[in-house]
Amino acid sequence: MAKSPLAGLSVLLLDDEVVLRKRLAGYLEREGAEVTAVASLAAARQVLESMSFEAAVIDVNLPDGRGTDLLRDKVFPPTTNVIVMTAGGNVAGAVEALRAGAADYLVKPFDPEELPLRIAQARRSRQARRADEFRRGQDSGLVFGESLAGVREQLAKITAADRRLSGSLPPILIEGETGTGKTAIARWIHRHGPRAEEPLIELNCSALPEALAEAELFGHERGAFTDAKTARIGLMEAADGGTLFLDELPSLSLPLQAKLLTAIEDHSLRRVGASRHIPVDARVIAATNADLGALVAVGKFREDLLHRLDLFRVRLPPLRDRGGDIIVLAEELLIRVCRRYGQKVPVIPPDGKSRLLAHRWPGNVRELAHEIERAVVFGGEQGLAFPHLGTADGDAAARSWMRRDFVFPETGFSLESAIDEIVARAMKQAGGNVSAAARLLGVSRDVVRYRLKGGRSTE
């Protein structure tokens, strides 16, 4: 059974007609709303001094004034969606209310079933406006080559499972070094899943000041702290029905981790300074470049939150371990950059590709993207050789498995162990593909298989 759009919402109902007020209140309560019904402007003002509401349904003409006076006097916080009711001959009052900040209006008489639809629509509009404050660009740098074939298969299974679920979606944990594309993966999951048309809210937890983190994530009521002059919905509430991506999750304090855990488990949250919980259904995707298990061991991350998040884990390999996919990704980024700058796409010559493959890429995909853009801007439309990534001698050293300053130990050196290490590194770079590893080593697949089975020279 579909969840009512009014379930758990607090609603203020202001109307002096006794029969209509009771009828609407009864209907809203059957839909799961928590209704506070009053009959006068004075009563509404008194209630609003101590309570806040997600929605308010108010009549224009009242015995002691006009309902629109509440909007004019800015009694409602920005988080309240106000629906105005007006008689058929008083549409001008509804127009006045819309100009003063009402979300919508209904002309009496109306079908009570229309009311939850209007409230839900108004709430979605407010969420969209909040989401626009954190809107980001399109996917960048996400190319599924051979090295990410396993990740692509894993994501396909997750999104397929999501489509079979009718309710809340389980959280996802993405692990990987800084710059490996965790944000791009989160966007891919959202845009290929059943919530693609709903909000995607992204938050870098490490960029949040400790004092503001809770209010930014969960929202706050007016007067909750010194600068809280108006109420504001948080990013988790803005992601209701959609996806909340939390990058650098371990940056959140332990108390805030506890509140996040409660919100995920209970599908509800409480704004800073509020006394009641608000139902929220946001799919949480968390990302980290740290070992959460290690952080748990030293008391810097909550073990219960790790267990809650660690259902679907996606691990992104660093760029240096993606082998030939580095070139595939570089060429894709090159096309995108040239399109943006309106330039002809240059070629990457063999020596340029060699330098790209030899570089260690400590900044991963982000560093590669910046390198490509710099090369396009400063290199013109000629071939991109990336000379500053190393001289010819430096390239040779970088391509070598041995450091230039390596000295054989006096105690001896195991050539067999070195060969095994080289084969293992090639297999890792090739994503476990024997044929690709053999190409990297310049040998046949049989040689690689032989070494993997523990083969040794008899000499």
Q: What CATH number did the domain enclosing 201 receive?
A: 3.40.50.300
Q: For the domain that residue 352 is a member of, what is the CATH number? A: 1.10.8.60
- Judge contact between 44 and 80, C-beta under 8 A: no
Q: Is the pLDDT of residue 83 over 80?
A: yes
Regarding whether 16 and 42 lie in a shared domain, the answer is yes
Instruction: Point out the domain boundary residue: 266, 281, 315.
Output: 315
Q: What is the pLDDT of residues 23-73, one digit of tens each?
A: 888 888 888 888 999 999 999 999 988 888 888 999 988 889 888 889 888
Regarding whether 155 and 206 lie in a shared domain, the answer is yes
Instruction: Point out the domain boundary residue: 292, 315, 338.
Output: 315
- How many domains, in total, are found in the chain? 4
Q: Greater confidence, 262 or 394?
A: 262
Q: Greater confidence, 73 or 8?
A: 73
pLDDT of residue 207: 86
Position 137 in a domain: no
Regarding whether 126 and 35 lie in a shared domain, the answer is yes
Q: Is the pLDDT of residue 454 over 80?
A: no
What confidence tier does 187 reach under pLDDT thresholds 50, 70, 90?
Answer: very high
Regarding whether 297 and 325 lie in a shared domain, the answer is no
Q: What is the pLDDT of residues 121-164, one digit of tens each?
A: 777 776 666 555 444 444 444 677 788 888 999 999 999 999 99
Regarding whether 328 and 248 lie in a shared domain, the answer is no
pLDDT of residue 406: 63
Domain of 260 in residue numbering reads as 146-315
Regarding whether 180 and 96 lie in a shared domain, the answer is no
Position 458 in a domain: no
What confidence tier does 262 reach under pLDDT thresholds 50, 70, 90?
Answer: very high
Farthest CA pair distance, the chain: 105
Regarding whether 109 and 77 lie in a shared domain, the answer is yes
Q: What is the pLDDT of residues 308-356, one digit of tens each?
A: 999 899 999 999 888 888 999 999 899 888 888 888 888 888 888 888 9
Number of Cβ within 10 Å of residue 71's Cβ equals 21
Regarding whether 349 and 324 lie in a shared domain, the answer is yes
pLDDT of residue 395: 43
Regarding whether 232 and 125 lie in a shared domain, the answer is no
Position 408 in a domain: no
Q: For the domain that residue 59 is a member of, what is the CATH number? A: 3.40.50.2300
Position 227 in a domain: yes
Position 192 in a domain: yes
Instruction: Point out the domain boundary residue: 110, 132, 154.
Output: 132
Number of Cβ within 10 Å of residue 170's Cβ equals 15
Regarding whether 163 and 305 lie in a shared domain, the answer is yes
Regarding whether 128 and 193 lie in a shared domain, the answer is no
Position 407 in a domain: no
Regarding whether 260 and 119 lie in a shared domain, the answer is no
Position 140 in a domain: no
What confidence tier does 416 reach under pLDDT thresholds 50, 70, 90?
Answer: confident
pLDDT of residue 33: 84
Q: Greater confidence, 278 or 454?
A: 278
Position 427 in a domain: yes
**Mean per-residue pLDDT of the chain:** 83
| Mean of pLDDT values over 72-89 | 82
